[in-house]
Amino acid sequence: MDEVRAIIQALHYLITKASQNEDKIANRMAILKLFFFAQRYHLRAYGRLIAKDKFIAMSNGPVASIAFDIMKEHYYQILTDDKEYAKGLIRSYDKFNVKVIDDIEDYDELSETDKEALDFAIENFSQYGEWELVNFTHDYYEWKKHENELKTKKSVDMNILDFFSDNPENSPFECIPKEQVELNKKWFIGDFE
């Protein structure tokens, strides 16, 4: 699996399916929040991320570092081949939006469970605007634990293990049984006794 190509394909999938317009233009911040929710779902349900990415807490919620760079066309963290691949599929449309510029026939870097997690994010969150999504992310412990620190800092590194924390009330993530989440956390950290 090529982790960066998996991120590019996941973003493409989200933009294509969540854009709600035939031009396939979507709000960048909203897509980043959907990506966070999809990654969180997959980790809790299957014990691995869709693709490895570093998450940071910012005032507007969690941000996946490589995903952010790809959508801003800041290719600092990726190799030339992946940069060209990204440029051929996703471009910054304007200050707030991104656009899919070519279709993908086969999301070959994404498993069926990856697509399930992306669909979960789309089905449960894509009907909301970017600021509503920001507010939703602020309810989750993995961001909330940094809230005070973010009053004096621009960003704080997030601990991926916090994605296994309890859900806020009425969260769609309650569809994953708590026992499964706990087992996947142990599997993820390699803590089998």
- What pLDDT shows up at residue 192? 54
User: 125 φ, ψ to 5°?
Assistant: -135, -15
* CA 110/CA 13 separation, integer angstroms: 10
Find the domain containing 108 and state its range: 3-189
- What pLDDT shows up at residue 81? 83
Query: Considering its fold, how many domains does the chain have in total?
Result: 1
Q: What is the pLDDT of residues 86-130, one digit of tens each?
A: 889 999 999 999 999 998 888 999 999 999 999 999 999 999 999
Distance set, CA 152 to CA 58, 68, 156 (Å):
11, 22, 10
Give pTM, 2 decimals: 0.94
Q: Using an 8 Å Cβ cutoff, are 156 and 146 in contact? A: yes
Q: What is the pLDDT of residues 3-26, one digit of tens each?
A: 899 999 999 999 999 987 888 999
